[in-house]
């Protein structure tokens, strides 16, 4: 690796780490920020703000991919993803100094949402630019290894944001952190922005783009060429369903759903949950580089699709083992205590609520949501005309339409054997290095294995996407399927899984969402997506050679 190549990788990776750090801060501190900006307003107004904040986090990323992807294919990779990091860094810093709604009223949440939308758009343009830029600098046969450093950045950004938040909470105290200390992680981003901009200013444009511009072969309309022509749009669709969708759900399950499952389902405290995830990220993240390097030797598809298949086959036993270790009393209750909801099934809703704004008020929905939040396994007995009632081990029914339902349900569950919130069997870490007890070690081992699956599917994905598309529309073409896959398929995973748990009464049923999508990607990827590791991306605008075509499809 030459000095210039090291500089390219460092500049692209560090800048992308900082960008993901900025993006994750809002997600990690959403509750604190909501209390400062949204809580003073009527419920309808709060719901609109929550919806827009959610949209900024996930739904607008593909639009950023289109805007900045087009710009990157028209004017160049370097200047485009220099613009994206400036937008992201400035927006994050301004959140840190933004007055709350106590000071400037409704203008505060409106400005916050605008900043969040800018963050989502910038993130949509950042990844494609960084991956394309590094890949177009990489020597043939080394693209998987070189771009794998970009793949570390999302995990590193999450890890860095968790560390800064935890350190700030420890330094200023919980009360001060909720009042004003939450601003510090946002303000720190200005230093990260200055470093990344300075580094990126030293970089040269990618050789593939410079050559294309010199030859006059660049696209005049990248979006219409990439998605308006079937031969290119078809490749984008296959990339989405045959590579990225499975990668996204494995990535979100291994990092975010594991976090949700520990905290919301298994009732592990937030400090312990964050530290267990942080240790697993620290131990497993080397896999990004390992599998990127390996993909240069055996191919992108075997590793990405192999990671999807392993995840699909092992998620159920791994999450059940996670449950048995993290909260043994709750795990035993799941197996031994029978709970039924007796109701008219026709009155029940599928409680998909990604923004937290929907209201489910029917007695059936109230009962099922309360049991799902309490991590109770239950079955539903259909009785037409009945209003919902919960029966626990043959005891007296607890009507869900009474004012005391929540309290009555809690007492009945505890009496039946479900553990109280502070039961002694739940794993707890006293400090960040309290990891040498049996519970902690087993849990970190399970979570690290989930992270290794993440590194298998994510390590080679940038190289695979870059190699699928020609230089003239590469930035645009790879960015959109990547951000639809990760922003929508992956981003909706926690909300979809919770709705599936509430619908069925099985705390593990939500795992079917990533499993089904991962299996879909294995099937489509195996039969319709070509192996690309030997492609010459500098000649990617030329027709394919016959050996690149899969036997069952033409790309």
Task: Tell whether 180 and 42 lie within a shared domain.
Answer: yes
Task: Tell whether 544 and 478 lie within a shared domain.
Answer: yes
62-71 residue pLDDT tens: 888 888 888 8
Q: How much is the pTM?
A: 0.85
Task: Tell whether 264 and 352 lie within a shared domain.
Answer: no
Task: Tell whether 435 and 369 lie within a shared domain.
Answer: no
Q: What is the predicted pLDDT for the residue at 44?
A: 63
Cβ proximity of 371 and 408 under 8 Å: no
State the average pLDDT over residues 381-406.
87
Asked whether residue 223 is assigned to any structural domain, the reply reads no
Task: Tell whether 38 and 167 lie within a shared domain.
Answer: yes
Residue 549 has pLDDT above 50, yes or no: no
Task: Tell whether 69 and 49 lie within a shared domain.
Answer: yes
CA gap 204, 261 in Å, rounded? 44
Domain at 380, CATH number:
3.40.30
Asked whether residue 333 is assigned to any structural domain, the reply reads no
Task: Tell whether 112 and 213 lie within a shared domain.
Answer: yes
Q: What is the predicted pLDDT for the residue at 1?
A: 66
522-548 residue pLDDT tens: 999 999 999 998 888 776 454 343 334
Q: CA angle 293-295-298, nearest 5°?
A: 120
Asked whether residue 441 is assigned to any structural domain, the reply reads yes
Task: Tell whether 90 and 66 lie within a shared domain.
Answer: yes
Q: What is the predicted pLDDT for the residue at 70?
A: 85
Highest mean pLDDT among 18-22, 119-123, 184-188, 468-472: 184-188
Asked whether residue 19 is assigned to any structural domain, the reply reads yes
Asked whether residue 421 is assigned to any structural domain, the reply reads no
Asked whether residue 204 is assigned to any structural domain, the reply reads yes
Q: Which of 363, 386, 416 is the last residue of a domain?
A: 416
State the average pLDDT over residues 208-221.
75
The band of 321, judged by pLDDT with boundaries at 50, 70 and 90, is very high
Dihedral sign computed on CA atoms, order 534, 126, 257, 365: negative
Q: What is the predicted pLDDT for the residue at 357?
A: 64
Residue 509 has pLDDT above 90, yes or no: yes
Asked whether residue 332 is assigned to any structural domain, the reply reads no
Q: Which of 398, 416, 434 is the last residue of a domain?
A: 416
Q: What is the predicted pLDDT for the residue at 475?
A: 82
Task: Tell whether 207 and 239 lie within a shared domain.
Answer: no
Asked whether residue 305 is assigned to any structural domain, the reply reads yes
Domain at 246, CATH number:
1.20.1250.20
Closest CA to 444 of 279, 329, 316, 313: 279
Give the percent of the chain with pLDDT over 70.
93
Highest mean pLDDT among 196-210, 251-265, 387-401, 446-460: 446-460
Per the structure, the complete domain to which residue 84 belongs is given by 1-218
Place of tokens 């999508």: 517
Residues whose CB falls within 8 Å of the CB of residue 122, separated by 6 or more in sequence, listed in order: 19, 64, 68, 84, 85, 87, 88, 91
Task: Tell whether 322 and 432 lie within a shared domain.
Answer: yes
Task: Tell whether 138 and 30 lie within a shared domain.
Answer: yes
Q: What is the predicted pLDDT for the residue at 57?
A: 67
Q: What is the predicted pLDDT for the residue at 536?
A: 80
455-472 residue pLDDT tens: 999 999 989 999 998 888
Residue 518 has pLDDT above 70, yes or no: yes
Residue 54 has pLDDT above 70, yes or no: no
**H-helix segments, 207-269:** 207-215, 222-227, 230-239, 245-252, 258-260
The band of 553, judged by pLDDT with boundaries at 50, 70 and 90, is very low
State the average pLDDT over residues 30-35.
78
Count of structural domains within the chain: 3
Task: Tell whether 430 and 350 lie within a shared domain.
Answer: no
Mean pLDDT of the chain: 85
> What are the DSSP calls for 428-465, one per residue?
--SSTT---SHHHHHHHHHHHHHHHHHHHHHTTHHHHH
Q: Which of 416, 438, 471 is the last residue of a domain?
A: 416
């Amino acid at each position: 690796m030459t000095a210039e190549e090291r500089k390219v990788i460092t500049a692209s990776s560090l800048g992308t780490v900082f960008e993901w750090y900025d993006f994750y801060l809002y997600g990690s501190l959403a509750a604190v920020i909501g209390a400062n900006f949204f809580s003073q307003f009527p419920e309808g107004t709060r719901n609109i703000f929550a919806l827009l904040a959610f949209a900024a986090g996930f739904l607008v990323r593909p639009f950023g991919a289109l805007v900045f992807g087009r710009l990157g294919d028209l004017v160049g990779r370097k200047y485009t993803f220099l613009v994206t990091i400036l937008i992201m860094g400035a927006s994050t810093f301004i959140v840190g100094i933004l007055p709350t709604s106590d000071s400037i009223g409704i203008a505060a949440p409106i400005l916050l949402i605008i900043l969040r939308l800018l963050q989502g758009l910038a993130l949509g343009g950042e990844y494609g630019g960084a991956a394309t830029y590094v890949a177009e600098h990489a020597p043939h046969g080394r693209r998987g290894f070189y771009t794998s450093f970009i793949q570390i950045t999302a995990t590193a950004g999450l890890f860095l944001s968790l560390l800064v938040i935890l350190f700030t909470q420890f330094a200023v105290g919980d009360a001060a952190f909720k009042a004003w200390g939450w601003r510090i992680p946002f303000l720190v981003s200005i230093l990260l922005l200055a470093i990344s901009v300075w580094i990126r200013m030293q970089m040269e444009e990618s050789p593939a783009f410079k050559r294309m511009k010199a030859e006059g072969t660049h696209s005049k309309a990248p979006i219409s060429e990439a998605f308006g022509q079937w031969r290119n749009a078809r490749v984008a669709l296959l990339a989405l369903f045959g590579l990225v969708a499975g990668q996204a759900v494995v990535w979100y399950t291994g990092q975010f759903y594991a976090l949700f499952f520990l905290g919301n389902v298994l009732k592990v405290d937030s400090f312990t949950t964050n530290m267990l995830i942080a240790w697993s990220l620290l131990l497993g993240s080397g896999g990004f580089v390992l599998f990127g390097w390996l993909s240069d030797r055996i191919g992108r598809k075997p590793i990405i699709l192999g990671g999807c298949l392993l995840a699909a086959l092992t998620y159920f036993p791994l999450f059940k083992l996670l449950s048995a270790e993290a909260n043994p009393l709750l795990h035993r209750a799941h197996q031994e205590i029978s709970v039924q909801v007796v109701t008219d099934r026709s009155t029940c809703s599928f409680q998909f609520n990604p923004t937290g704004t929907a209201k489910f008020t029917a007695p059936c929905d109230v009962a099922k949501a309360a049991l799902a939040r309490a991590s109770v396994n239950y079955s539903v007995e259909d009785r037409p005309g009945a209003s919902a009632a919960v029966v626990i081990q043959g005891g007296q029914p607890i009507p869900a339409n009474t004012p005391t339902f929540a309290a009555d349900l809690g007492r009945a569950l505890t009496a039946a054997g479900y553990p109280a919130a502070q039961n002694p069997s739940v794993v707890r870490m006293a400090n960040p290095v309290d990891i040498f007890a049996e519970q902690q070690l087993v849990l970190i081992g399970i979570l690290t294995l989930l992270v290794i699956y993440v590194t298998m599917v994510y390590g080679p994905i940038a190289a695979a996407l870059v190699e699928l598309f020609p230089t003239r529309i590469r930035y645009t073409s790879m960015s959109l399927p990547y951000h639809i896959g990760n922003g929508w398929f992956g981003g909706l995973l926690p909300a979809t899984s919770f709705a599936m748990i509430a619908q069925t009464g099985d705390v593990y049923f939500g795992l079917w969402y990533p499993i089904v999508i991962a299996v879909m990607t294995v099937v489509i990827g195996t039969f319709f997506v070509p192996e690309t590791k030997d492609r010459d991306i500098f000649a990617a605008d030329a027709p394919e050679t016959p050996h690149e075509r899969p036997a069952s499809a033409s790309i």
